Chains A and B, each alone.
Chain A
Amino acid sequence: MLTIKMKTFAAIISLVILSGCSSSASVQLTNEFPQVLAKPKALSAAVVFEPSFATYVAKPNAKTVIDIGAAQVRLLRNAFAGLFSTLEFVASREEITADNAMVIIPSVREVQVSTPSENYLNVFEVWIKYNLDFETAEGESIDSWFMPAYGKTPDAFMASKSAAIEEAAIIALRDAGAKLMLDFYRIPAVNNWAAEEQKRARQQQDSIQQAKNAEVSP
């Protein structure tokens, strides 16, 4: 009887140890992101979050699954609010109603993960490689921008791999927001489009003003 109990106990202990040492990780990002501290330009944009992007689940290797779809939509909603004064978020290009808006279509090229056993460092690393397609409202291509984001988190004794990868993925998403804020209007094609759009808006405003003045004067 005692032998059976000891065997059961040993089996349970072995199972606990084996499951504790499991190298697989399944992560779903449910966190919120802070509002960006930036003054948006008086321009309008329509961001297309296609279903494949909004529900994106990354599988960087056979043992790791990261559900980043909803989190990256939340992050980009916040980030673009710091870049454009008028924004529209849609699920497909056909749903866009705004005129003269820049159409932005984000997509994920690749997600990579590196663990301390692979990089020989005491850090977990996550790379998210985005691609942003910029088009005019008429469908003409402005540019296609490759935007890599990076996050890392230190390895901690007995800490779970899932928690470390989750934190690194959140840092990578925050980094994507930072890169967007920092570099978006530095992209030459985007900068040219913004300058032209502002010029066009000014000319439109001037012509409206002239028309008003003509109406008032006899």
Chain B
Amino acid sequence: MKSSIKLIPLVFILALFGCSATTTIDEYRPTGEAIELDANERVVVLGRRDAGHYETDREFIGCVGDKMRGADIQVLPEQEFIDAIYPWFEPRTAPKGLPRLKRLMQDASVKTQVDERNVRYLVWLDGSTETLDSGGSISCAIGPGGGGCFGFAQWDKVSVYEAIVWDLNELTEKGRLRVDSEGTSYLIGAVAPIPFLTPVKSDACSSMGNQLKNFFSVTQ
């Protein structure tokens, strides 16, 4: 009973401070002006998947796309775009730089597919969320008389994502954005496991999506 009472302030402190992520955004744009986007033009958000040890996950790409859609920006689903110009945006074949993109866009069939879908801008997202340090221990047991978890565990997560905006009409780079988000999550075992999860990836997605929204200015 006494130990449960001692846990209350700890839980309270963790609830207050433990669940917020620290996010840093770095932005580079050649000009300070917003990127013009006609009402019928669309943006496609694509994940880089050519790195060996991680994969920019589709969930994050979808999340950033949803944030941008909320600002009247028309976003074409990633898979629809990749399938339309298969196999030229697969991990092995996707252009890594503007020279390769220029060569690809010289192919009439690729240009037709891009134009048919009114895709004007391409946003490449590259990054991942990783668990860095973890500490503590928690053990759970179950028996005929009942069960429960006891202990304390914590882990640090970090999300690092970079976005690069390419203009498919002018075949130029329009800007870069980098989001670093980190935070610590806790799990307290006081009979029932009580999680205090820091939404590191979700924070990175919100920051990336909101900042990308500011890149574009939709003209009616």
Contacts and interface: CB of A to CB of B under 8 A. Distances in A.
Interface of A: 3, 6-7, 10, 13-14, 33-39, 79, 121-123, 152-154, 156, 171, 174-175, 177-179, 181-182
A174 B143 contact: no
Contact of A37 (B91, B110, B145, B146): B110
A174 B54 contact: no
A13 B86 contact: no
B130 interface: yes
A178 B54 contact: no
B41 interface: no
B54 A177 contact: no
Contact of B93 (A7, A154, A178): A178
B145 A6 contact: yes
B55 A154 contact: yes
Interface in B133-153: 142-146
Contacts of A177: 86-87, 90
B72 interface: no
B144 A34 contact: no
A174 B144 contact: no
A13 B142 contact: yes
B57 A174 contact: no
Q: Is the interface of B mostly helix, strand, loop or mixed?
A: loop
B85 interface: yes
Contacts of A3: 144
A173 to B, nearest CB: 11
A122 B80 CA distance: 26
B83 A121 contact: no
Nearest to A82: B87
Contact of A6 (B49, B83, B110, B144): B144
Contact of A14 (B90, B92, B142): B142
B128 to A, nearest CB: 8
B7 interface: no
B173 to A, nearest CB: 24
Given A37-B84, A179-B92, 8 more contacts: A37-B88, A122-B54, A154-B128, A174-B87, A177-B90, A178-B86, A178-B87, A178-B92
17 contacts: A6-B144, A6-B146, A10-B142, A10-B143, A14-B142, A35-B86, A36-B86, A37-B86, A37-B88, A37-B113, A39-B109, A122-B130, A174-B86, A175-B92, A177-B90, A178-B92, A179-B92
A153 B85 CA distance: 21
Contacts of B146: 6
Contacts of A175: 90-92
A182 B83 CA distance: 16
B142 A121 contact: no
Contacts of A121: 53-54
Given A3-B144, A39-B109, A175-B90, A34 B83 contact: yes
Contacts of A7: 144
B86 to A, nearest CB: 4
A129 to B, nearest CB: 15
Contacts of A35: 86
Contacts of B49: 152
B87 A181 contact: yes
Nearest to B93: A178
A123 B53 contact: yes
B51 to A, nearest CB: 10
A36 B113 CA distance: 12
Interface string B80-108: 00011111101111000000000000000
A37 B109 contact: yes
A78 to B, nearest CB: 8
The 10 closest A-B pairs by CB, nearest first: A178-B87, A34-B83, A34-B86, A178-B90, A154-B55, A6-B144, A154-B57, A178-B92, A178-B93, A181-B87
A38 B109 contact: yes
